[in-house]
Structure 1
Amino acid sequence: MSLFFIFSKYIRENVESLAIEVVESVLHRMKLDIPEWEKEQAIAIYVELLSYFGESLINEGKDLVPDTFIVWSKRNAAMQVSSRGKISEIAVRYSPTRDVFTEILTKISIDLGLSVKENALIIKRINTMLDISLNETVFAFERLLDEAREETKKELAALSAPIIPVKDGVVILPLVGYIDSYRANYIMEYVVPKIADMDINHVIADFSGIFTINIDIAEHIHQIGSMLQLMGIHVITTGLRPELAQLVINSRINISAIETFANVKKALESIK
């Protein structure tokens, strides 16, 4: 019976106690205090990893990392994104985890009489597993963070241009906050079609809640108004502060075809 086989057999027979030792040692070194459920989850995952690790030493055809370990890595990334945590909070755990594994596996190698070369191969194998886990965690974190940011941008864009029905055939489109190219395009792609699907005759575009815009954004907004007019919808603008009005004039945008009022109240009074 080869020493590698004996080592593998030892790992598989003592997998639960080894997993507990790994988790407890890492928590002690990092001075971490985690909930009991999280500790039990980590132990269960390391039980599976070590079982898989032990089998891989005598079965070269085996994948380097079990699927559940990859799933666990991705789940950790998802938890960090949902809690607005940093990926570094997970990454810093890998170094002490490597150290703990190296010490435990080296001690077992010495006790079982493995050579330095054999022990080096064992340490290399466990480090490869940990590298794959770290990579999967980082990749998942970046992807999920990008998705979360995109969703947040969509939510903010929707909040920046809500459609508010005030009476039959009339809606107010209050433009709120900072209007950038993303939000302007969002209005064009999502808000305008939604208005088109409604039985609307008049749209009051209120600018009083806008913090700032530039000439390019003013052009976008003008295009939105033109699209609505082409659909046969009467467009009225309100709340154009002096600096916004000056920007429109400087941009040479022709707004002569659009009625303008100081506020929404006067615009509503003008609609018969």
Structure 2
Amino acid sequence: MEQILRVSDYLLENAEKVIDQVIEEVKTNIKFELTEEQLNLAKQQNVEFLRMMARSFPATDEEAAKELLEWAEKQGETTSQNMEQFSQSIEPLAKNRLIYSTHISQIAIDMGIDAERIVRIMNRFNYLLDVAMVHTIKSFEKHQAQKLKERQKQINELSAPIVPVQEGVAILPFIGIVDYERMEYILNYVIPKIPKMGTDHLIIDFSGILTIDSEIAQHIFTLHNVLQLLGINLYFTGMRPNITMAIVQGNIDFSDFHTYGSVIQALAVIEKTK
């Protein structure tokens, strides 16, 4: 154990120097250009990992892995912020692992560590590297999913804006693809805003979409009923024949719906009711 602790102390004291040497050699395996910021981040991450590994030498594999979890969570989040695809990071892993392990084993050889203990050191290094990679990937995927969810929310917001056009009158244009998720967003986040805007008449314009399915048609029926309960007069415009067919195929009675060919026609009708 004394020999292993000597290597541990050396790595803790000289982590930055060792990683500088490793990174210089590793850069030749990377096919994409790294910015100065990315290089500094890589150095910081690897210095932290090397020190964690060195501190783990007296511990069991299970005890050593515990410290890695929090570190890997942070690395996954950071990688998610800087890269869209984790494959950029892991593609050169095999060669980089060899470079990394060669440096560490050479340090141990130069310190006169015997072969058995060098093997133990390298087994610990490879074990921790595998654990770190697995948990970093999981963290990366989690944070990527959160980013996608936030982007989808932003898309939904941009695709379902409430546009006031007159006092007490607003338009909700449907733009792009109207799917289940977007209808859920409209029902849960857009509709509650309408009464707060002092809107008495809402025009939902379908001219910006090509088609809907019967499930979405059912949601539109729900939307109609909710707005009626809120005391808001609802008008549908720009409904193509295929959209109307989807409503019919959904066995929805839309005889009470106020439908018009264009927003201008609906506005003219609203003007007469005032």
Structure-1 residue corresponding to 2:150: 151
**Compared CA separation, residues 259 and 97, structure 1 to 2 (3 A):** same
Q: Any idea what SS the aligned residue of 1:143 has? A: helix
Instruction: Indicate the larger mover: 187-196 or 149-158.
Output: 149-158
Structure-2 residue corresponding to 1:10: 10
1:188-207 correspondence runs (5 A): 188-207=187-206
**Compared CA separation, residues 250 and 98, structure 1 to 2 (3 A):** closer
1:148-187 correspondence runs (5 A): 148-187=147-186
Asked whether the equivalents of residues 22 and 101 of structure 1 are also in contact (C-alpha less than 8 Å), the reply is yes
Q: TM-score, structure 1 length as denominator?
A: 0.87
CA-CA distance at 1:33 after TM superposition: 4.2
Asked whether the equivalents of residues 170 and 202 of structure 2 are also in contact (C-alpha less than 8 Å), the reply is yes
Aligned residues: 268
CA-CA distance at 1:117 after TM superposition: 2.2
Q: Any idea what SS the aligned residue of 1:212 has? A: coil
Separation in structure 1 between the aligned mates of residue 214 and residue 238 of structure 2, nearest angstrom = 17
Instruction: Indicate the larger mover: 257-266 or 153-162.
Output: 153-162
CA-CA distance at 1:32 after TM superposition: 5.4
Structure-2 residue corresponding to 1:247: 246
**Compared CA separation, residues 249 and 39, structure 1 to 2 (3 A):** closer
Structure-2 residue corresponding to 1:270: 269
Structure-2 residue corresponding to 1:260: 259
Asked whether the equivalents of residues 73 and 139 of structure 2 are also in contact (C-alpha less than 8 Å), the reply is no
- What RMSD in Å do the two structures reach over aligned CA positions? 2.5
Instruction: Indicate the larger mover: 9-18 or 155-164.
Output: 9-18
Runs of 4+ in 1 over 4 A off after TM superposition: 58-70
Q: Deviations over 1:3-30 (max 9, x none)?
A: 2233233334433321111111111233
Q: Which amino acid aligns with 1:199?
A: G
CA-CA distance at 1:90 after TM superposition: 1.0
Q: TM-score, structure 2 length as denominator?
A: 0.86
Asked whether the equivalents of residues 176 and 207 of structure 1 are also in contact (C-alpha less than 8 Å), the reply is yes
Instruction: Indicate the larger mover: 94-103 or 7-16.
Output: 7-16
CA-CA distance at 1:63 after TM superposition: 4.3
- Gapped regions of structure 2 (runs ≥ 5): none
Q: Which amino acid aligns with 1:43?
A: K
Counting aligned pairs with the same residue, the percent is: 32
Q: Any idea what SS the aligned residue of 1:173 has? A: strand
**Compared CA separation, residues 73 and 124, structure 1 to 2 (3 A):** farther
Separation in structure 2 between the aligned mates of residue 242 and residue 16 of structure 1, nearest angstrom = 68
Q: Which amino acid aligns with 1:217?
A: I
Separation in structure 1 between the aligned mates of residue 7 and residue 263 of structure 2, nearest angstrom = 79
- 2:65 aligned with 1:75, yes or no? no
Separation in structure 2 between the aligned mates of residue 79 and residue 63 of structure 1, nearest angstrom = 28
